[in-house]
Structure 1
């Protein structure tokens, strides 16, 4: 199992950061413009059973990715898990913690690539670098949106 973690401190209360993630357009806001991703649907907000569906483009090949929320503790965390997609497995934990009146936002992803351990050893650094780019963007947008309030 591979792991990626990205954390930042948002100068806003946890309620503001959580409520930002509840927005109906959150996937559009947090998807980097350079990523070849189409948002197909988002249903159910952040609660357990919520669904997000994407179409990823790997070259000219469309790949369907569906994630379902498996856990939600308001103002603390929500977890989504891939139920269909390009990974062998994918669990994404979104944590919100109060820290000196601010919010520590942490994304933790545990995943397995399709293929063998050799595939993982060859590709995990590349995948983590892409995740680093994406979450750096997501956290910057979150800071810009939430720190204005």
Structure 2
């Protein structure tokens, strides 16, 4: 599958960065407005709404309406992996079946303690409908992650 990666060093301690990212509340804040993202519901692995943090089995129901011009698209991702230690954390979300704009989607989020700074690394493996890589997919992902990392710096940097 095509893969896109982006890493940044954030001038904020690991605990601050991880605490910010380990909640669905950060999604609208870190998503460009033009994507028209809404999070209508989050269902925890126990079936309860709005769990604390990204627990394995959590389903995140998203709705996107790019540029407010297109029909809203449902996108459901599930947290399929999560690891947290004293100086590292990660979680992985995958698109649930065909419930989204991609044929396949796997997004790995990693965070590493660098002392007073934190490394954030995103890796997205994807396949667009019809298979392969489409010319607009990579610039779209690049722009989305560039925005996300830039916003993280602006919001959390000391």
The TM-score with structure 2 as length reference comes to 0.81
CA distance in 2, matches of 1:73, 1:116: 30
Q: Does 1:51 align with 2:59?
A: yes
CA distance in 1, matches of 2:12, 2:65: 35
**Equivalent residue number for residue 138 of structure 2:** 128
**Equivalent residue number for residue 113 of structure 2:** 98
Q: Does 1:144 align with 2:157?
A: no
Higher helix share: 1
**Equivalent residue number for residue 5 of structure 2:** 5
Give ranges in structure 1 of 5+ residues lacking alignment.
Answer: none
> Following TM superposition, by how much is the alpha carbon of 1:62 offset from its aligned partner in structure 2, in angstroms?
2.4
Alpha-carbon distance change, 24 to 93 in structure 1, aligned in 2, over 3 angstroms: closer
Number of positions where the alignment pairs a residue of Structure 1 with one of Structure 2: 143
- Cα deviation, 1:23-72, whole Å, max 9, x if unaligned, reads 45211211211213322223332111122111123653322100010111
Higher strand share: 1
> Following TM superposition, by how much is the alpha carbon of 1:6 offset from its aligned partner in structure 2, in angstroms?
0.8
Contact residue 14 and residue 114 of structure 2 kept, 8 A: no
Contact residue 28 and residue 38 of structure 2 kept, 8 A: no
**Equivalent residue number for residue 77 of structure 2:** 67
Q: Does 1:115 align with 2:130?
A: yes
Contact residue 82 and residue 92 of structure 2 kept, 8 A: yes
Give ranges in structure 2 of 5+ residues lacking alignment.
Answer: 43-49
